[in-house]
Amino acid sequence: MYSVAVHGSFQEYLKKFSSKARQNLTRSVRKFSDRQESQAAYEVYTEPHQMAVFYAEASAISRQTYQARLLKAGFPENESFITEMCDLASRGMARGYLLRDRGKAIAFAWCTGKGTCLTYNTIGYLPSEASQSPGTILLYHILDDVFSSSKFSVIDFGNGEAQYKSMFATDRKEIVSVYFFRMTFRIVVLVWLHWWMFRFSDFSGHLLDRFGLKAKIKKMLRNIKS
């Protein structure tokens, strides 16, 4: 599990990056901002009456992402979710972010709070805008906003591996899930098959990465249209 400890200023946080990485990051953000012609590069939605607007824009982006098209794991689309968003906002525990390019929403992030921890829940960006690194630029602004607000002390990126998590995180914890099963022949076979499939997937990933093919295949899958 990756997370960011929110203490000190945002500029102090940026010092965790190497000088080259920090320079590349700030250059990308500045270059994107310069395109906006005095328009705001990003927006923050925190109030109950703002949730419907954010939901509409975020859902439109999410439908075009590979997470939604291939994995069915996009932004939830039901009225009960909007009600939940409004409830969280009324308690000061909702933060919706949109990145805009000349007024057009191209990336979103939905974050929810619990106590002093803000969880980076659902994210997405328009595949057509991938060359601009919209996810990275939006996350930069999110971190700046959270550091400035002094409302949360931790940003939780959740379970799983991702390049942006290891890049931006200040802390990492190993999470272990333990399952107990009845000792039956069917369950033993299923668990054994699952274990071998996991090993094969892990081996294949490392092999593709070694030959520089993993990123290309991911990009190809993301471009597959439903």
Residue-level pLDDT, tens digit, the chain, 226 residues = 899 999 999 999 999 999 999 999 999 999 999 998 888 899 999 999 999 999 999 999 999 886 766 666 678 888 899 999 999 999 999 999 999 999 999 999 999 999 999 999 999 999 999 999 999 999 999 999 999 998 999 999 988 888 899 999 999 988 777 888 888 999 989 988 988 887 887 777 777 767 776 566 666 655 554 4
Cβ-proximal residues to 95 (8 Å cutoff; 6+ apart), any chain: 44, 45, 46, 111, 112, 113, 118, 142, 145, 146
Q: Is 28 exposed, middle or buried (0-12, 13-18, 19+ CB in 10 A)?
A: middle
Residue 49 Cα distances to 82, 96, 129, angstroms: 11, 12, 29
Cβ-proximal residues to 69 (8 Å cutoff; 6+ apart), any chain: 63, 224, 225, 226
CA 213/CA 24 separation, integer angstroms: 24
Of 3.90.660.10, 3.40.50.1820, 3.40.50.2300, 3.40.630.30, which CATH number belongs to 2-172?
3.40.630.30
CA 6/CA 152 separation, integer angstroms: 7
Task: Output the pLDDT for position 224.
Answer: 53
Task: Output the pLDDT for position 216.
Answer: 66
Regarding beta strands 104-114 and 117-125, do their DSSP bridges make them parallel or antiparallel, or are they unpaired? antiparallel
Q: Which one-letter amino acid corresponds to residue 122?
A: T
Residues in the chain: 226
Cβ-proximal residues to 46 (8 Å cutoff; 6+ apart), any chain: 89, 92, 94, 95, 96
- Alpha-carbon torsion angle 168, 135, 108, 94, nearest 10: 0
